[in-house]
Chains A and B, each alone.
Chain A
Amino acid sequence: MLNDHILSLTTFVPAAGALVVALLPRRGRVIQWFTLLVSLLTFALALHLPWHYVYGQSGFQFEENHSWITSPNIRYHMGIDGISMWLIVLTAFLAPLGVLASWKAVETRTKEFYFLFLLQQTAMIGVFVSLDMFLYYGFWELSLVPMSILIAMFGRERGPQTALKFFVYTFLPSALFLVAILWLYAKTGTFDFVQMQHILAQDSMLFAPKALMWVSLAFLVAFAVKVPVFPLHGWLSDTISEAPTAMAMVVAGKLGLYSIIRFNLGLFPVQAREVAPWMIAIGVIGILYGALLALVQRDMKRLIAYSTLGHFSFCILGIFCFAVMGLDGSVYQILNIGISDGALLILAGALYERYGTYELAAYGGLATKLPNMATLTVITGLSLIGLPILNGFVGEFLILSSSFRTHMAWGAAATIGVILSAAYMLSMIQRIFYGPQSALVANRPAYDVVAREQLALWPMALLMLIMGVASPYWIRAIDGATHELANGVHYTMSLAERR
């Protein structure tokens, strides 16, 4: 019963919650509590998915497929595979943590904040469940709007400028992307992902040889900006640095990377192969570039931003090697970074709440005053630099070893990132927590991690450990979907070669 509607429910419960938030009175913390409740409910609904997922089976599950608009032929088609399932769970997991992280940070205009926050949840989950391109595009665009407004309204210093930058960066390629979708519709007469996949795989005579390449590039650029991929990352460090913690946690990575896997690999396997050498190079450059820039940042949040760029570049590398191992690793790494990067941003935000700055130079010797904060930061940092038995290692290892197999030099170059990431992460930890106490730290009284923050951070830390030792639990679902992708590529390649 529930299985038939679970995806719609998970997607739209936050939106319904947003409507209620709009009606709630601005009194006390009513809105916060209510948003927390809604996001927990969404998380519970999301957990239904792995519980009832049929493992070891390819194709989409929990499908909902109804005709929506007959002309043009738009369907209300939702469904998930192992990849999107875990991304939904991740999104829903991060939502209550985002509320907890914003509890104190957002004190004014809470109604606007939480209204948009919940709308953003719906948009992100919608992106993962949509199997109709039109529906998908709606959610994709929707995911940009609340984000931009939130950055503009709640940005730290230069909110509006940053929001404009973010919007321009992400919106312009999206317009191109829409054109590509419309062109595909004009050629195939469908917006449905599954049907289109079949047509593209079998009816390749329908298209001019170069046309599909351009269409796939329009897709790729829109997604690559959202990831972001080097050199399209111009918005990232400003956005992460300005955006409120709850938004910085979700702004990068998963939407873009998921879409690359779903559409560029799923719809255009041949074209994806053709651009693969470029993407692999860009991925490796991004890994090293992000790490090197993180090494010389003076601002905590900008450091995190560049480390994020490096980490997501790992995923790009893994995706474009077209091997099950690398794809598994990439999807797993999206989950890992979502958790660990999120935790790091919450920790940075918590420091900001206490000391009012992200400048690394202002800190020093904090470990004595805030031992629990130090412990949690060290665990999170270790997860992000890929210490074995924590989650980050599994993803990085799978990606690197898979890319090394097919592209030895690039794989080896990417592995240098492992050294650099240790350097910048441990430097950051040292500058904040070790050494003699700075004037700021010594003079301002501060409290260690409070219950609310513990509630957010310990589950994340625990997950880092569990996902580090029990990866098969997650990967067995991912594996089914990536097998199909890797094989699909081979299948269409051979078709193309035959022609």
Chain B
Amino acid sequence: MTSTHSLHLWLLPLVPFAGFLVNALLGRRFPRALVTAVALIATLIPFLQVLGIASQFSSLSLPHLEQFGTWIAAGSFHADFTFALDQLTLVMLLVVTGVGFLIHLYSAGYMAHEDGYWRFFAYLNLFMFFMLTLVLAENYLLMFVGWEGVGLASYLLIGFYYTRDSAANAGKKAFVVNRVGDFGFLLAMFLFIAHFGTLSFSSIFSQITAHPELHGGFLTAIALCLVLGATGKSAQIPLYTWLPDAMEGPTPVSALIHAATMVTAGVYMVARTHVLFDRSPLALSTVAIIGTATAFFAATVALVQTDIKRVLAYSTISQLGYMFLACGVAAYSSGVFHLVTHAFFKALLFLAAGSVIHALSGEQDMRVMGGLRKKIPVTFWTMTMAVFAISGLPPLAGFVSKDEILYHAFTAPGPGKLLWFVGLFTAFLTSFYMFRLWYLTFFGENRAEKAAAHAHTPASSHHAEVDEHHHAIHESPWIMLGPLAILAVLSVIGGWMGWPEGLGGGNWFGHFLAPALASQHVAEAGSNSLEVTLALISTLVALAGWFLAHLFYFAKPELPEKLSVSLRAFYNLLLNKYWIDELYGAVVIAPVLFLSRFVLKGLIDTGVINGGSYAAAYTTQGMGAIVQRLQSGNIRSYAGWLALGAAGLLLLTYFGFGAHLSLR
């Protein structure tokens, strides 16, 4: 299988890992410039290598496998360090290394004044190592290394400002909630081993392909376990709760890990496993329903959030829901396409939001922003591109990929029309809340100066990113604006490579991925009026959202206030995120703690088990006292008792106590 020349795929993850080791072990003593250089080079090399691979991609025989030894071998089971390269992997590699490098670059400016600079870059490189392992892995076990590893990097980076309780809590929450998902992933792996005897992708998928009669049944069980894993990593219902809290991390982390790359791992995994999902309609519908519900639900919460990063966090959850919807209607390449365009515009949104926060010396509350359009023009214009893109205005990237998903949902059998409608309505909400953010941040009067008159409340300056000596609102340095500009260009043109055939394009992206994601549900080619109509409707919906936001937050800024008063109950429901966190606390965490603390610890461990042992101890002490009375020497008395006991038991044995005291 291995092609004649090696691509040295092992270098891809190991170079960032080396960067991690250097900065983690020595970074504390390095000057900042050296830390930056190490981290950037450790990300640039893999990016260049991926570009090199892409340039000779057509000459490779795919999938291209490279094996580097055995990781675990026990009994008949073994799992190897094997990397695989195919079209899907290449797309992921380009996104991870490309966007990853841009965000590293941006971070060099954004984090310039932070303590623990070396630590930040060490963690970032560690993340790259695990993420690249995740997308390159040729078996589930190695994928799980990346899967849990990115969770670790996320934990470390969310808790970067660890002296704040909120950050430390958020990091732990992210890890533990992800572990719930990983529980599903583990069960899926156990099922794979039990049924296929291996975890290798090629081997499992060829076995499934070779047995067309396999349908549903245990395949559904495996698929549903994997879905549980994916909902954890990709922040879908019911395990999405960690992602909004993850905003405690520095903003570049939110861009890289909690928007562009790590959270898309669930989508990647489902697409990678499409052979299995195609055999399980139930699992597919589950994915579609979870995705649609999450997209809608998160969008409603985003409507009322006032923290700029939280809006983007819920928006990310919502957009990931679209990708799930795509996978759920077996339009995997559309899901991956949206993953790519989303990586561009959502990374840009976060980075631009970071630039805004940077300009306002750590302020994240949109209520005290406003009027920044003229003050930070580059940030404004780049962010505008991202807002247009995510709102689905043609011909930007978000329009193309989201529209393709809605089209596939519409044409899907079963409840497809319903999924399409909810998706469409969510698109309207998306457009509304994104333009709300846009207006609140950049238009109207500057509310920041007004707020500055008030003392710095703990709530408004809770970010350690606060730079006390910066008062004037200032544009960010070039090292931050450069990545913004590049991502802005990609947010505009990034969708064109997948322009649907139904709208007169070539859908080059879909055709490129087709060999890797060959699905039973092959989309039909050729221009058709249905797709044009749907695209038109989407565009109108996006414009409607813009119009409404314009009305609410530009033309008549007093309207939202009135509306929130008249719809108080509903408003509070959204503002408090449907009280889901509180619900989980009451239904899951509190009972577990109650059980552990009072039933297990208080009653069983202290009462029964310890009580029993103390009773035993007292008995022995009593026995010892008797023995001491009978005998003079302690040792002799113990030996005597031992012998006596032994003799007694031997006698019992001799008379066949086995016959009387049987187990059965």
Contacts of B610 in A (CB 8 A): 234
B656 touches A211 (CB 8 A): yes
Give the contacting residue for A296; candidates B162, B172, B191, B597; CB below 8 A. B597
Chain B interface residue count, CB cutoff 8 Å, equals: 70
A178 touches B646 (CB 8 A): yes
Contact with A along B623-664 (1 / 0, CB 8 A): 000000000000000000010011001100100111101110
B605 touches A168 (CB 8 A): no
Contact with B along A387-419 (1 / 0, CB 8 A): 111000010011011101100000110011011
Given A400-B186, A418-B183: A324 and B74 interface contact (C-beta under 8 Å)? yes
B72 touches A292 (CB 8 A): no
A416 touches B183 (CB 8 A): yes
Say yes or no for B272: interface residue by CB 8 A criterion: no
Of chain A, the residue at the smallest CB distance from B593 is A296
Give the contacting residue for B72; candidates A213, A371, A398; CB below 8 A. A398
Looking at chain A's contact residues, is the secondary structure mostly helix, strand, loop, or mixed?
Answer: helix
B163 touches A210 (CB 8 A): no
A176 touches B649 (CB 8 A): yes
A165 touches B617 (CB 8 A): yes
Contact with A along B600-624 (1 / 0, CB 8 A): 1100010011101110110011000
Which B381-437 residues have a C-beta within 8 angstroms of A? none
Give the contacting residue for A293; candidates B168, B189, B601; CB below 8 A. B601
Contacts of B663 in A (CB 8 A): 210, 213, 274
Say yes or no for A341: interface residue by CB 8 A criterion: no
A234 touches B658 (CB 8 A): no
Say yes or no for B205: interface residue by CB 8 A criterion: no
B163 touches A388 (CB 8 A): no
Given A183-B650, A214-B657: A323 and B190 interface contact (C-beta under 8 Å)? no
Say yes or no for B159: interface residue by CB 8 A criterion: yes
B658 touches A210 (CB 8 A): yes
Say yes or no for A459: interface residue by CB 8 A criterion: no
B617 touches A436 (CB 8 A): no
Give the contacting residue for A329; candidates B74, B169, B613; CB below 8 A. B74
Of chain A, the residue at the smallest CB distance from B70 is A472
Q: Of the 9-residue stretches A196-204, A353-361, A421-429, which lies at the interface with chain B?
A: A421-429
Give bound CA distance, A365 to B645, whole Å.
55
Contact with B along A212-241 (1 / 0, CB 8 A): 011000000000000000010111000000
B190 touches A401 (CB 8 A): yes
Give the contacting residue for A398; candidates B70, B74, B168, B609; CB below 8 A. B74
Contacts of B455 in A (CB 8 A): none
A235 touches B613 (CB 8 A): yes
Contacts of B656 in A (CB 8 A): 208, 211
Given A208-B659, A398-B74, A471-B72: A179 and B650 interface contact (C-beta under 8 Å)? yes
Contact with B along A317-330 (1 / 0, CB 8 A): 00000011100110
Q: Of the 9-residue stretches B143-151, B325-333, B443-451, B498-506, which lies at the interface with chain A?
A: B143-151
Contacts of B70 in A (CB 8 A): 472
Which B198-255 residues have a C-beta within 8 angstroms of A? none
Contacts of A482 in B (CB 8 A): 75
Of chain B, the residue at the smallest CB distance from A278 is B663
Say yes or no for A59: interface residue by CB 8 A criterion: no
Q: Of the 9-residue stretches B92-100, B174-182, B372-380, B540-548, which lies at the interface with chain A?
A: B174-182
Residue of A172, A213, A292 contacting most chain B CB atoms (<10 Å) = A292
Which B245-277 residues have a C-beta within 8 angstroms of A? none
Contacts of B658 in A (CB 8 A): 208-211, 213-214
Contacts of A234 in B (CB 8 A): 609-610, 612-613
What's the least CB distance linking A218 to chain B, in Å? 9
A430 touches B172 (CB 8 A): yes
A419 touches B596 (CB 8 A): no
Of chain B, the residue at the smallest CB distance from A416 is B183
Say yes or no for A169: interface residue by CB 8 A criterion: yes
Of chain B, the residue at the smallest CB distance from A378 is B156
Give bound CA distance, A161 to B620, whole Å.
12
Given A296-B596, A471-B71: A418 and B182 interface contact (C-beta under 8 Å)? yes
Given A175-B642, A234-B609, A416-B183: A472 and B72 interface contact (C-beta under 8 Å)? yes
Give the contacting residue for A472; candidates B73, B162, B653; CB below 8 A. B73
Say yes or no for A195: interface residue by CB 8 A criterion: no
Give bound CA distance, A164 to B194, whole Å.
47
Say yes or no for A475: interface residue by CB 8 A criterion: yes
B617 touches A210 (CB 8 A): no
Give bound CA distance, A179 to B642, whole Å.
10
Contacts of A401 in B (CB 8 A): 77, 189-190, 193
Say yes or no for B141: interface residue by CB 8 A criterion: yes
Say yes or no for B152: interface residue by CB 8 A criterion: yes
Give bound CA distance, A296 to B179, whole Å.
19
Which A266-310 residues have a C-beta within 8 angstroms of B? 274, 289, 292-293, 295-296
Give me the interface of A with B, judged by CB distance under 8 Å.
161, 164-165, 168-169, 172, 175-176, 178-179, 182-183, 186, 208-211, 213-214, 231, 233-235, 274, 289, 292-293, 295-296, 323-325, 328-329, 365, 367-368, 371, 382, 387-389, 394, 397-398, 400-402, 404-405, 411-412, 415-416, 418-419, 422-423, 426-427, 430, 433-437, 469, 471-472, 475-476, 479, 482-483, 486
- Chain A to chain B contacts (Cβ below 8 Å), 26 pairs: A208-B656, A208-B659, A213-B662, A234-B610, A292-B595, A292-B600, A293-B600, A296-B596, A296-B597, A387-B148, A387-B149, A388-B144, A388-B149, A389-B149, A412-B187, A415-B190, A416-B183, A418-B182, A419-B183, A423-B179, A426-B155, A426-B171, A426-B176, A472-B72, A479-B74, A482-B75
Extra 20 A-B pairs, beta carbons < 8 Å, given A179-B645, A289-B600, A418-B183: A175-B646, A208-B658, A210-B658, A211-B653, A214-B658, A233-B609, A274-B663, A296-B597, A324-B75, A368-B163, A397-B72, A400-B186, A426-B171, A430-B168, A434-B168, A435-B168, A436-B165, A471-B71, A479-B74, A479-B75
Nearest 5 Cβ contacts at the A-B interface: A324-B75, A210-B658, A234-B613, A434-B168, A404-B190
